[in-house]
Structure 1
């Protein structure tokens, strides 16, 4: 393995770590909000079904937090080991959000422990629910601070650059860079969408398995409606992200849309393949749509990829990541809409099998959209690790041990993912929701016995 390029191996290892971590990190951001929604509804309506939802989701949440901590620690370790030049040059500029993320996690972890061990300890049920607020704020704040580090890499500012050294660093200016607002909101909204979609899929699976208790139907309604709201929010924020790219990172937008010549009335390309002359074949071309995406007007000028040197252009493959993300984003809106208007659809069944299967797919679909979005974001920044200042090849380690690190971390992630799946499945299989409902004295119809 020593003969392999350490830059390539470092990119593969970092990419693998992010692909794994983003799953658990996003669930760590979104699930607390879903727990809060369920418990709030349970307390407000005095409906124990929603309270039990919150209770069961909280148990599973602990497992995802544990795995997220391990993979998140791996990222911190790899920043120093695999990208030492980047950390040496930019470390002071990104130190503040990294430092603040630690405090956000402390707040989340402390109040999560208190929340888990104080069920039924308060006469006023709102008191226990309020303990979840710092958990939700802490988890979302962690995402905010870490995302500002990523946004700094896309839009570095707040320093003076002299001979490869950053001086006169302004941490808050670096942290709140032009990319921060769109990236942070997009990450939060997509995390909420993923969490709601996964929980909706689990509820649909339970009903498909013949568990027709009202508990599962209420879980389905809460999660599917939440998925629709969060998916719509993600799509709207995505539109703002497109406008940000057109203004601040035009090469990423151009590469993602196979847009080579600067022009107004620019066409948006969906799918297709490029021939040797960079002409699109077999793709769907939507007139004026790219100009409208870039500036809300067909007369908006969109900068083409030909304006940039070839060695500073992102890979054209990101076009497919963008297309997949957008396609799935549409499905994440349409599927919940079909559920919400199911009473107007033909057929006598309240929950048709095809609809339940579609809802089950919300989890995998939202996960794939999340991964495609991150691939588009990170690959679209190439060849830069700090756009305009430092390329990836300049930032990577020259160590010959990266190959063995890749093997060891791959084994670690495989063990973590398999263990998480096994623990979560055993956790809920050993204590079925219907069994807990009986212990609470609830009949199949949802009434107190």
Structure 2
């Protein structure tokens, strides 16, 4: 019972850390891309509004990077302290991407510092833009290497386990496991998409508050245009992720869709509820949807959850996580599409109050979708921490006082969250874009 409690608290603490860190990690991956887009287009069009946009985004980005470093360090410590059995087993195999992630972050941090302190110091401004390329690459590769570790937990390979002893270790095979392509692509695309919607929500909020300056309108146009592209790619990659699950983690897909009996021509079930007999009620059913998601054909056979032992089945509530994530993603795609349609045919409707309110909430919605996606990914793997090799309860620490650590870190994250909001608010409230533009004579 004691070990069960410690495993439970270890899970709670890890979940809390990941839930908090993922916000800043997502911004850390996506915002450099948006800064690069704004500066590149600004230089190309000789647009001072877009150049100032890049400059202001870069200032705010530094704050999020600082918080991300703290929470990222906490995750590294917690892997060793809370999950020693897992690290003893998996650390021998998957340590290479963890090591490489450190170098990716070093590249990002070094060039970010140089980039920030060399504004207006190059006769050719394109040379300054070149300094941002390592920042974009470093931040994205940092996400790639960490996601590879997570992919390995879902589809472990590159080693042999005999009587508890690991042999025949192949780090590259472990890194390039079947889960890696779809997970890495989905993480990067969704991070770019989420960051675009966060920045779009800021621009929409300023317009909603009465600002009619071209600066905010150009920010809205740039961010929603990028959001449209990345939301489409995220949806396409999500389709590939469904096919990966059907082949390699069928129990996860079955639990997410409340699909219990192996069958063909299986519908896709959205929302609803399960009665006592595990019959789906009041759901939206899309004919052949799950079969098509699994392998593009209505006749595709989809493995049911009853094919797996009860103690190896994921919790059924992941169905709602999956549905909410997909629903939010579809809503955001529709929002960005609607904006571009209005730009083309009904420009007088672009800044309507209802559209600006919806857009100002899109950043929160995108972050929520990211959180739901990660919870679905992690809980959907349960009861395994290393699928097929080690269950979560066996990977956790048996040391006491994890419950105390949970409280301490909760207070820390609360302080970091509030502190970062206060700093960012003061940073931009006391030095508004309008003020800077007046100083530039714009």
What range is the shorter-chain TM-score in? over 0.9
Q: Aligned-pair distance for 1:210?
A: 1.0
- Give the match's secondary structure for 2:211: coil
Call closer, same or farther: CA 1:75–1:343 in 2, change over 3 Å: closer
Contiguous gaps of at least 5 residues in structure 1: 443-449
Match of 2:117 in 1: 117
Alpha-carbon distance, 1:273 to partner? 0.6
Structure 2 CA distance, aligned partners of 1:372 and 1:317?
Answer: 12
Q: Give the Cα separation in 2 of the matches to 1:434 and 1:195.
A: 23
Q: Tell me the equivalent position of 1:258.
A: 258
Give aligned pairs, total: 442
Q: Secondary structure at the match of 2:161?
A: strand
Whole-angstrom distance in 2 between the partners of 1:77 and 1:337: 42
- Give the structure 1 partner of residue 374 of structure 2: 374
Q: Against the structure 1 CA distance between its residues 322 and 349, is the aligned structure 2 distance closer, same or farther, given a 3 Å change threshold?
A: closer
Give 1:165 deviation, angstroms: 2.4
Match of 1:18 in 2: 18
- Taking the aligned partners of 1:90 and 1:3, their CA distance within structure 2 comes to 21
Query: Which residue does the alignment assign to 1:438?
Result: 438
Residue 47 of structure 2 corresponds to 47
Corresponding residue of 1:147: 147
Structure 2 counterparts to residues 271-420 of structure 1, below 5 A: 271-342=271-342, 348-420=348-420
Q: CA deviation at 1:4?
A: 7.9
Secondary structure at the aligned position of 1:92 is classed as helix
Distance 2:11 2:33 in 1: 33
In the other structure, the counterpart of 2:76 is 76
Does structure 2 retain, via aligned residues, the 8 Å contact 1:159–1:169? yes
Cα drift, residue 345 of structure 1? 7.3
Deviation at 1:311, TM superposition (A): 0.1
**SS of aligned partner of 1:341:** helix
Give the Cα separation in 1 of the matches to 2:344 and 2:230: 24
Task: Report deviation, 1:347.
Answer: 9.6
Contact 1:7–1:397 at 8 Å: present in 2 too? Answer: yes
The superposition leaves residues 35-82 of structure 1 with CA deviations (integer Å, 9 ceiling, x where unpaired) of 000000111111111100000000000000000000000000000110
TM-score, with length taken from structure 2: 0.98
TM-score (norm 1): 0.97
* Partner residue, 2:106: 106
Q: CA deviation at 1:346?
A: 7.3
Match of 1:30 in 2: 30
Q: Structure 1 pair 326/229, CA: closer, same or farther in 2 (3 Å)? A: same
In 2: Cα distance, 1:354 partner to 1:389 partner? 51
Contact 2:270 2:283 in 1 (8 A): yes
Q: Which residue of 2 aligns with 1:228?
A: 228
Structure number with the higher helix fraction is: 2
Contact kept, 8 Å, 1:90 with 1:166, in 2: the verdict is no
RMSD of aligned C-alpha atoms? 1.4
For the residues of structure 2 that align with 1:196 and 1:370, how far apart are their CA atoms?
13
User: Residues 396-434 of structure 1: CA distance to partner in whole angstroms, max 9, x if unpaired?
Assistant: 001111001101100110000000000000000010000
Structure-2 change in CA distance of 1:92 and 1:216 (3 Å): same
> 2:31·2:195 contact (CA, 8 Å) conserved in 1?
yes
1:194 deviates by 0.8
Aligned partners of 2:350, 2:34: CA distance in 1, in Å? 25
Contact 1:154 1:381 in 2 (8 A): yes
CA gap 1:347/1:115 in 2 versus in 1, 3 angstroms: closer
Q: 5+ unaligned residues in a row in structure 2: which ranges? A: none
Aligned residue number for residue 172 of structure 1: 172
- The whole-number CA distance in structure 2 between the counterparts of 1:336 and 1:294 is 28
